[in-house]
Amino acid sequence: MPKNLAPTRTLTSKLFIPILLLSLLTFGFSFDRNVVTPSVGVNTYLVIFIGFLFTVAGLLMIKSLACKYPDQSIIRLGNKLLGAIGGIGTAVWLVVIFSLAALLARRVTDEVSAIILFRTPGYVSTLAFLLIAGYMALLGEEALGRLSSVMMFMLPLLLMMLVLSFRQVNPANIHPVNIYRDLGYLKQWDLWLLVFSPVWILGSFNGGESIRGHFKAVILTLACGTIILGAASLAVAGAFGAKGIARFQWPVMSLMNITEFAPSYFFQNFITTFYFIIFISFAAVTVAGFLIILSKGFTEFLGLKNSRSKLMLFIIIAALIVLSIVSTQIHYKETANFLLKTGSLYTFGYVVLLWVGSLFQRRERK
Amino acid sequence: MSENPKIPILELQESLGSPIDLEIRTIESKDNLPVQITFLRGLADPTPVINVVTQNNLNSLTETAFTAAGKVLRGNRDIPVKFYLYSGATIIYAPSREPFAVITKSMAKRVPSEPVNESSIRGPRDGFVEDIYDNLSLIRRRLPDPHLQADELTIGRRTQTKVAVVYLEDVANPDLVAEVKKRLTKIDIDGVLEPGILEEFIKDNKLTTLPLSLTSERPDKIAGAILEGRVAIMVDYAPQVIIVPITLNDLYQAPDDYYFDYWAGSLIRIVRFIGNLLAIGLPGLYIALIGSSPQLLPISFGLTVAGLRIGMPFPLYVEVLIAEMMVELLREAGLRLPRGTNQTLGATVGLIIGFALIQTGYISTPTLIVVGISAIASFSSPQYPIGLTWRILKYILIVSASFLGLYGFILGAILIAAHIAGLSSFGSPYTVPWGPWQTTGILDSIIRAPHWLRLKRPQAAKPNQPNRGAKYPKE
């Protein structure tokens, strides 16, 4: 097919940005409540804002790398900038993404098993989810981008749910920013690091053209996602109440309980149903995105030809299914999950390390 | 070359096996010398040839003399002259001359009439017919543009079917035109009887059930598509014309939308969109909510439906499948019944069987309502192939909902959406203008923006001239 008509090989910003936004919202909605402690609950939105600032800094580092080393993957950069350490570092990077994908899959499917499928074994839900995500990954980045772009039409539903939940948010929940007092919330790095981890993961692998050429659009998208997450945190924090003791098990339950529009069961279930539709859809896109990153990453890391990346994808899907079902480490219910904390810290730290390494290297000409 | 024209005619008769429609006549020229002509009755009219023979001496009956009667063709090693009999030619055998053919087609033709499957409330009533030249003339009347090109191809080893690739030279992307021609010329098949055969060959993804090209019998629709930079493929002896590339969005557009006010056009499109969602999703959602996750329904509603299903011998998904099969059978039978009886008989039989099934307790009333609404909704799309596609894909949602309830329904819907997102039609993403976002296309998607806002061509076909109102280029 002529080049003019052939599907684009690199992910354009039009297709990358929706994937980025959906991934950010997925991680934000799925994980933040699990690491939110009552003491920080009322200021989760502030912590997310701090995370946004750090993430912009991280994206600036990624942009610097993308401009200095155009169209080079993080694996190649790791070897080039960090030598042998880079090889180990990249391998760990890939393993962390693998773990995050498994965690997200379990996060989704365990909730489904708890609320919808009581009598179905949990592994069936996980298997079905990962097969669908695997199929999406097989279709490729461009298809994933198109699907994410279509799914953006679910955002108004999400915003509607948020707006409804704001009825119970009162000024006591909104603390004016006091730099001196609120610096203490920087201690909650494990919260915002996890929430924003897909941003630098996707940015490092897929965002080359977008981060270089459309940085403003990426930051704007990130800002929108942060505002939505912050608002959601505010709404969830509102359910804590002034004493900060009462805590609802699921975000959607808090939405249902605090909205006065939902005295009838129907409306509550309307919200529940749409919450699940949105959450499962977004999570599937995120896991598929991670699978694509893993297949490409492992293919390059092992020095295989690009044509083998599909075979690598099959292997990764199989391994992910086994890990998600079998491993006892893949759980998220604890507020201080070791894998979550260290994994997200590592993914950010590695970007910083590469950037620091690039400072001591000359700019590479195309 | 034979002095006696009877010899090659006898050879011709022998080689063709003396078919019933082969007619051989002897005509005298003006100087009373015999000339043999042969033709296939029903395909050719020999009158113009006879007139030329009778009005000229034998010596004057050269090929040039017959050019007024029709196109003159000589045979060669690759294509013997007898082959032209099947193209509606009359072959002339004059003494001491090589036989040659004169095209004098006279086949039964249909007059352009309103398309049966694409009727409209407003707009032109003519439709394509089975003659490629008549069809092309219907397009040219609407687009008297010197840039309108119609390139001829011949496809089919035995049928030698004429195919025309029609496009606006200054608007259509030349790579697109080249790709269309390339895919068509690659087709190696014995016969092309209908454009649907070509569609299967030129599809980007040959395994999908979704249509990746659009067919229409309406000249106004095809002209509109050509104006957008798309390419039309006309097939001789078929009233359907293929348009490529297309997107899913294009399958929900009808010419009526553009002829009525934009408010009405938008409302009709929204209704179509909702109808198709119901067609594909309603049975699966019904199974998911009633059969697997009744706790997600309002209590009063859930209890009512549960009450109507008390004592049903089959699980809900079996009920739905039985009802769906019944609808499919009625639909198919309705197509085959003679006209005049199909509607009455179909409705009566459907009512009787449906009533009987409910009375005997094999199917519950809510199931029949759901399946009935889904069946009606599947006809809301102006394009029949997409309705067929949703009829097939809804079974995926039925099966997934049967296994995993609402979760299965959601996963099934994501699977279908992902599949659609992965499709392309001649390089154009199938999900345009929603993914990737194209503002020009959004103005002509679920809503129909006013014509004074639609100043740019949709980018699906990557046209050379993006603006509709671009100044007409100088020759």
- Residue A40: the pLDDT is 53
pLDDT at A8 over 70: no
- Residue A158: the pLDDT is 82
Mean pLDDT along residues B43-47: 89
Question: Which residue is closest to A5 within chain B, CA to CA?
Answer: B427
Percent of chain B at pLDDT exceeding 70: 95
pLDDT at B319 over 70: yes
Compare CB distances from A132 to B292, B293, B414 and report the shortest one's residue.
B414
**Which residues does chain A have within 8 Å of residue B427's beta carbon, measured at their own beta carbons?**
1-2, 4-7
Name every residue whose Cβ is closer than 8 Å to that of residue A269 and which is 6 or more positions away in sequence: B295, B296, B297, B298
Percent of chain B at pLDDT exceeding 90: 36
In this complex, do B435 and A124 lie within 8 Å of one another by their Cβ atoms? no
Which tokens belong to A74? Answer: 């993080």
**Which residues does chain B have within 8 Å of residue A137's beta carbon, measured at their own beta carbons?**
none
**Closest C-alpha among B198, B207, B202, B205 to residue B179:** B202
pLDDT at A272 over 60: yes
In this complex, do A1 and B427 lie within 8 Å of one another by their Cβ atoms? yes
Least Cα separation, residue A138 to chain B (angstroms): 10
**B395-449 per-position pLDDT tens digit:** 999 999 999 988 999 999 999 999 999 999 998 999 988 888 887 788 788 888 8
- Residue A242: the pLDDT is 43
In this complex, do A149 and B435 lie within 8 Å of one another by their Cβ atoms? yes
In this complex, do B296 and A269 lie within 8 Å of one another by their Cβ atoms? yes
pLDDT bin (cut points 50, 70, 90) of residue A295 is: very high
**A50-66 per-position pLDDT tens digit:** 889 889 999 999 998 88
pLDDT bin (cut points 50, 70, 90) of residue B5 is: low
- Residue A214: the pLDDT is 86
pLDDT at A366 over 50: no
Least Cα separation, residue B153 to chain A (angstroms): 20
In this complex, do B434 and A149 lie within 8 Å of one another by their Cβ atoms? yes
Q: Is B130 left (phi over 0), alpha (psi -120 to 50) or beta?
A: alpha
In this complex, do B431 and A135 lie within 8 Å of one another by their Cβ atoms? no
pLDDT bin (cut points 50, 70, 90) of residue B230 is: very high
Mean pLDDT along residues A272-290: 88
Least Cα separation, residue A13 to chain B (angstroms): 10
Which of A4-13, B116-125, B368-377 is least confident?
A4-13
- Residue A1: the pLDDT is 65
**Which residues does chain B have within 8 Å of residue A146's beta carbon, measured at their own beta carbons?**
421-422, 429, 431, 435-436
Rounded Cα distance between A248 and A237, Å, is 10
**Which residues does chain A have within 8 Å of residue B284's beta carbon, measured at their own beta carbons?**
none
Q: Which helix (H) or strand (E) holds B26?
A: strand B22-28
- Residue B360: the pLDDT is 83
**Which residues does chain B have within 8 Å of residue A4's beta carbon, measured at their own beta carbons?**
173, 175, 427, 462
Q: Is the pTM of this model over 0.90?
A: no
pLDDT at A267 over 60: no
Which tokens belong to B274? Answer: 């909702």
Compare CB distances from A128 to B292, B404, B426 and report the shortest one's residue.
B404
For all residues of chain A together, what is the average pLDDT? Answer: 77
**A245-264 per-position pLDDT tens digit:** 444 444 444 444 444 444 45
In this complex, do A139 and B419 lie within 8 Å of one another by their Cβ atoms? yes
Name every residue whose Cβ is closer than 8 Å to that of residue A117 and which is 6 or more positions away in sequence: A124, A125, B292, B404, B405, B407
Q: Which residue has the higher pLDDT, A314 or A1?
A: A314
Question: Which residue is closest to A6 within chain B, CA to CA?
Answer: B427
- Residue A191: the pLDDT is 72
Task: For the domain made up of A13-355, give the CATH fold.
Answer: Amino acid/polyamine transporter I (1.20.1740)
Mean pLDDT along residues B227-231: 94
Compare CB distances from A112 to B407, B415, B419 and report the shortest one's residue.
B407
- Residue A253: the pLDDT is 47
Least Cα separation, residue B247 to chain A (angstroms): 13
Which of A323-327, A345-349, B187-191, B310-314 is least confident?
A323-327
Cis peptide bond upstream of B433, omega within 30: yes
Rounded Cα distance between B86 and B88, Å, is 5
Which of A171-175, A260-264, A274-278, A359-363 is least confident?
A260-264
A109, A146, A271: best mutation site toward chain B, by most B Cβ within 10 Å?
A146
Sign, CA dihedral A340-A342-A348-A350, equals negative
Q: Is B64 left (phi over 0), alpha (psi -120 to 50) or beta?
A: alpha
Least Cα separation, residue B8 to chain A (angstroms): 49
Residues of A with CB under 8 A from a CB of B: 1-2, 4-7, 12, 14-15, 18, 112, 116-117, 120, 124-125, 128-129, 132, 135-136, 139-140, 142-151, 153, 264-266, 269, 272-273, 276-277, 280-281, 284
- Residue B161: the pLDDT is 92
Q: Which residue has the higher pLDDT, B196 or B292?
A: B196
- Residue A335: the pLDDT is 46
Which of A211-220, B174-183, B217-226 is least confident?
A211-220
- Residue A250: the pLDDT is 44
- Residue A176: the pLDDT is 61
Which of A90-99, A236-245, B151-160, B423-432 is least confident?
A236-245
Q: Which residue has the higher pLDDT, A44 or B232?
A: B232
pLDDT at A186 over 70: no
Name every residue whose Cβ is closer than 8 Å to that of residue B2 and which is 6 or more positions away in sequence: B8, B95, B96
- Residue B460: the pLDDT is 84
Strands (E) across B61-99 are located at 72-74, 89-93
**Which residues does chain B have within 8 Å of residue A277's beta carbon, measured at their own beta carbons?**
410
Compare CB distances from B431 to A7, A146, A284 and report the shortest one's residue.
A146
DSSP state of A187: G
**A115-152 per-position pLDDT tens digit:** 778 788 888 999 999 999 999 999 998 999 999 999 98
Residue at B143: amino acid letter: L
Q: Which helix (H) or strand (E) holds A145?
A: helix A141-151
pLDDT at A241 over 50: no
**Closest C-alpha among B67, B76, B447, B381 to residue B248:** B381
Helix/strand/coil percent split, chain A, to 5: 80, 0, 20
**A301-315 per-position pLDDT tens digit:** 888 887 888 899 999
**Which residues does chain B have within 8 Å of residue A105's beta carbon, measured at their own beta carbons?**
none
Length of chain B: 475
Question: Which residue is closest to A267 within chain B, CA to CA?
Answer: B298
